[in-house]
Amino acid sequence: MAAIIELKYFNSFWLKKMRTITEVKPTSVSGEVVTVSAYNQISQGPTITVFPAQSPDLMNVGQETTIEWTDAGVPVVWRSSIVSRNLAGTEFILASIPPSPYPSSGPNLKVVLGKIINFDNIPNAYDGVQEDDWLIEESRIRGGYNNTTVDFGVKAYLVEDEPNQLIKRSSLIHSGIFNSRTGINQTNQFSVAEDITRTIDPANGSIQKLYAEDTNLIIFQENKVSKSLIDKDAIYSAEGNASVTSRNLVIGQNVAYAGEYGISTDPESFAVNGYRKYFTDRDQNVVCRLSMDGITVISSYGMTDFFRDKLSSALNGIIGGWDAHNKQYVLTIPQIPTDIKNDNDDTIAFDEAAKGWVSRFSYYPNQIISLNNNYFTAKDGKLYKHYALTPNSQARGVFYGEQNDSSVTFIFNKAPSMVKNFQTINYEGDGGWEMTEFRTNTDSALPVLRAYFVNTLELMQNFLLLNNFKLKEDKYCADITNNTLPQNGEVVFGRSSSGVKGFFGEVTMTVNNVPGKKELFAVSTGFVKSS
């Protein structure tokens, strides 16, 4: 039954019945003093029996428990956690069952106890009746720093008999005020006597990301993006009084942006550059940009089908970041549950200057960071700096210690309704590029190797018959050799025929493990109308 008592407010306290768990110390017991019983039907786990009894600060509920023994001379290590203990401190039930055969007592049996790792059963286990089980917590920090006790005096306090956790996934809560000018710091205060919570529409899902910009707090929910005004005059100008301004509202009215887009459950996809914020909406299968003009779907810039397929099958952990070196939004979309390189994963970059998605990369990071115009990614706990060549190597395309090829794929589609015979290919740029693929709707061509600079008779003999690019008048040129398998009715096919026939040509140019910068300025082809 609830009661309302009207009184003058001095201070408020929470009196919590919960013994501290920070006193539990890692330790170990071994030898004949430890016995591990067989399968326990009630607990679904084994029982550890210890003599003499272990105090609660040495062996208690939630602790990591490592049991070591030998089976036929082979060392066995198995880890679990303590679910419960008896009052005497002699019997402890574990959370799971060790591998068979179960260990028994003996000199080779050892139990190592670590830190608290399992909090599921702690509220019920730490409910002793000792006086020191009760903890006093002030909602406002006004107790003396070195005081050994807190004098209740005439202050009001309450007892929380059922300390149940309440999770509000679509609400905000703010602390007291920090003022660097006056030295007032109330950021450790969450006063229940004041209106310090703001609830956003729960129909739009949980709050996944908060970003402060000027006088606005931008709120990213699963299915919506909105903003709330922040009263920064109250935050930065408070003198510690109860009322510091005419409008003492820290988080103001919430206003939603137009468009039914949110950040789903991928806050890691968020990146910011100036007033542009980038994020993904896995539920809508789109990539969005939030700027001064509102929300824009940038995945529609020629990549609608790509992101529809990739985001619909993406796993949790979509990673986004801003590349300060190239001024691009970089997005990694994992497709399989592994940290190793996989061709199904995708890392792709969006360029504002080009208004499109300009690059795909062969690296798949766990985190993306930019600092001082340098671009970094993290992978498996290691930090890598991109666009950095070592003094002893000019190799490019090396990501996380692995060499990767660089390639460009494009379409030749002039006169789309005409069947063409593509006979030659040439490019302008640096040497080292190869044509790894040229295919049409009907034919395919042999690869064209990179150009070799011949200056000896031996090199001329070795490279004379190779199908490779030749440097002519500052252009690298090569004939296109047909490599199509024979079809019904064909008399001349494959390498016996010149060029490849089709409405269009899909070409891939590749450079691999060639030191130095390799520019590809332009690629062209020569064709005639097919007879």
* Coil, strand or helix at 399: strand
* Coil, strand or helix at 446: coil
Tokens of 65: 């428990």
57-87 pLDDT, tens digit per residue, is: 778 888 888 888 777 777 888 888 888 888 8
Which of the two residues, 249 and 134, has the higher pLDDT score? 249
If you average pLDDT over residues 383-396, what whole number do you get? 78
CATH number of 27-118: 2.40.30
Q: Which of 124-138, 444-458, 494-508 has the lowest mean pLDDT?
A: 124-138
Which distant-in-sequence residues (6+ apart) come within 8 Å of 106 by Cβ? 31, 32, 69
Which of the two residues, 435 and 148, has the higher pLDDT score? 435
If you average pLDDT over residues 274-281, what whole number do you get? 95
Which of the two residues, 105 and 448, has the higher pLDDT score? 448
Tokens of 27: 């330790």
The whole-number pLDDT of residue 265 equals 92
358 has pLDDT over 80: yes
What is the signed CA dihedral for 380, 382, 386, 388, rounded to 10 degrees?
-140
Q: Is the dihedral of CA 430, 436, 440, 446 positive or negative?
A: positive
Q: How confident is the model at residue 177 (pLDDT cuts 50, 70, 90)?
A: confident
Q: Which of 186-200, 434-448, 486-500 has the lowest mean pLDDT?
A: 486-500
Phi, psi of 211 (to 5 degrees): -140, 125
- Per-domain residue ranges for the chain? 1-19+127-165, 27-118, 171-256, 267-404, 408-529
Please report where in the chains the tokens 């990146």 appear, as a residue: 271
Per-position b or e across 3-35, b if 16+ CB within 10 A of its CB = eeeeeeeebbbeeebebebeebeeeebeeeebb
Q: Is the dihedral of CA 74, 75, 77, 78 positive or negative?
A: positive
Which of the two residues, 182 and 361, has the higher pLDDT score? 361
Average pLDDT, the chain: 78
Phi, psi of 405 (to 5 degrees): -75, 155
Phi-psi region of 181 (alpha: psi -120 to 50; beta: other; left: phi over 0): alpha
The whole-number pLDDT of residue 299 equals 95
Task: Name the helix (H) or strand (E) containing 457.
Answer: helix 457-463
Please report where in the chains the tokens 């301004």 appear, as a residue: 245
Of all residues in the chain, the percent with pLDDT exceeding 90 is 34
Which of the two residues, 103 and 442, has the higher pLDDT score? 442
- The whole-angstrom separation of Cα 17 and Cα 164 is 12
pTM for this entry: 0.62
If you average pLDDT over residues 509-525, what whole number do you get? 88
390 has pLDDT over 70: no
E-assigned strands of 63-181? 63-71, 74-85, 91-94, 110-116, 134-138, 158-159, 171-173, 178-179
